[in-house]
Amino acid sequence: MYNFFHSEFYHNTVICYLTVIFCIVLAILFKRYVSKYFVSLLFKLISRTGKKLNKYAFVELLLQPLENFLLLFVSFVALDKITYPKELDVLIYHFTLFQVIDTATTSALIMTFTWLCLRAIDFIATILEENAAKTKDQSESQLIIFFKDFFKMIIGIIGFLLVLRFGFNKDIGNLVTGLSIVGAAIALATKESLENLIASFIIFFDKPFTIGDTVKVNNMTGMIEKIGLRSTRIRTEEKTYISVPNKQMVDSIVDNLSLRTFRKVTLHFEISLSTKASQLQLLINGIKEILSNEINISNVSIYLKESGKNAHILEGEYFIDMSQTLEEFNLIRENIYLDIIILLEKKGIVLAAANSDVVVINK
């Protein structure tokens, strides 16, 4: 029996073959248990940071790629202990069988590890998205999605280069140089797209507006529905859906209406020339009193702008707190105009025949 286990077949002893088979079978049988142990251990380490994590989601993301990685790693190490006979090293399309096997196993190991890293990025992004969902700032979620895709792309490129370097034994130095030259050429050819990409970074970090804000840009007013890598999508007041390049959103003057503290109302009245100076003074004082009685109104200003050929022109402005809804704002403004009309009737003041009541509202 001793001689049988130490007898050689194709330059390897029987005990060597049995050891390799035992290691691979052991890895197949216990890969799930070992992977679960390492994943649970890693979960406990991360949980100590105080984060409330979903253990089930964590295990589901990392368990399968970790199982495959452990199985391939153990198989790779075990098979490396075998001395392969030269008789089996046949030529396959300019490559020997051993070269093909070595390339395949190394590439599979690298790709599995890359897959594991990608799953880890997905889990980290999930945690950050859950925390961002608890805040009112929706731009954080958009930023997390962007960087998740960005880092996954970087990991994918690194994995591809590692496969070329260690799997196919290629010198990636020239490839990286070539990619840099190609990247520079592509950057010049896609200058506008690159500018929009850089502008998206500016929007993400500077935050002149966020998703859900109402903005006015280039004489268009609407609500921000999405901030992409190339453009910003806006739902206009006419309910149309437009895309504005991010570079234009950065270079143009953007009025973020959601950040206003007050709504400004500008008044313009043309009073009949038959109105006496004393009546005009009473009218001005009366309008000021009407406006001062409203608790949500501030910065009241009413004055006689000029006395022209056709009318005495009264102008003024006041501000209404943005805490009021649009419906409440319109109701307050309506009541003010009704009170002013009643005041005009009481004082016997008549509006000029042309442009009898011109009101300009700046929203």
pLDDT band of 342, cuts 50, 70, 90:
very high
Q: What percent of the chain has pLDDT over 70?
A: 80
281-293 tens-digit pLDDT: 999 999 999 988 8
Check residues 48 and 136 and name the one with the higher pLDDT: 48
Is residue 355 predicted with pLDDT exceeding 50? no
DSSP states of 296-359: TEEEEEEEEEEE-SS-EEEEEEEEEETTS-HHHHHHHHHHHHHHHHHHHHHHT--B-STT-SEE
pLDDT band of 133, cuts 50, 70, 90:
low
Q: How far apart are CA 39 and CA 119, in angstroms?
A: 12
- Conformation bin of residue 253: beta by default, left when phi > 0, alpha when psi is -120 to 50: beta
46-85 tens-digit pLDDT: 777 656 667 777 777 788 888 888 888 888 888 777 776 6
Residue 298, phi then psi, degrees to nearest 5: -145, 170
Q: How far apart are CA 327 and CA 259, in angstroms?
A: 18
DSSP states of 282-304: HHHHHHHHHHHT-TTEEEEEEEE
- Strongest mean pLDDT among 43-52, 162-171, 289-298: 289-298
Q: How far apart are CA 244 and CA 209, in angstroms?
A: 14
Q: What is the pTM of this model?
A: 0.49
Is residue 317 predicted with pLDDT exceeding 80? yes
Asked if residue 11 lies in contact with residue 3, where contact means CB atoms within 8 angstroms, the answer is no
- Give all domains of the chain, ordered by start, each with its CATH number: 2-171 (no CATH), 202-258 (2.30.30.60), 261-362 (3.30.70.100)
pLDDT, residue 362, reads 41
pLDDT band of 2, cuts 50, 70, 90:
low
Written as six digits, the tokens of 78 are 């075990």
Check residues 30 and 17 and name the one with the higher pLDDT: 30
Pick from 80, 148, 151: nearest CA to 109: 80
pLDDT, residue 177, reads 67
Asked if residue 41 lies in contact with residue 59, where contact means CB atoms within 8 angstroms, the answer is no
CA torsion, ordered 201, 206, 209, 212, to nearest 10 deg: 70
pLDDT band of 190, cuts 50, 70, 90:
low
Check residues 227 and 83 and name the one with the higher pLDDT: 227
pLDDT, residue 357, reads 41
Pick from 76, 72, 60: nearest CA to 112: 72
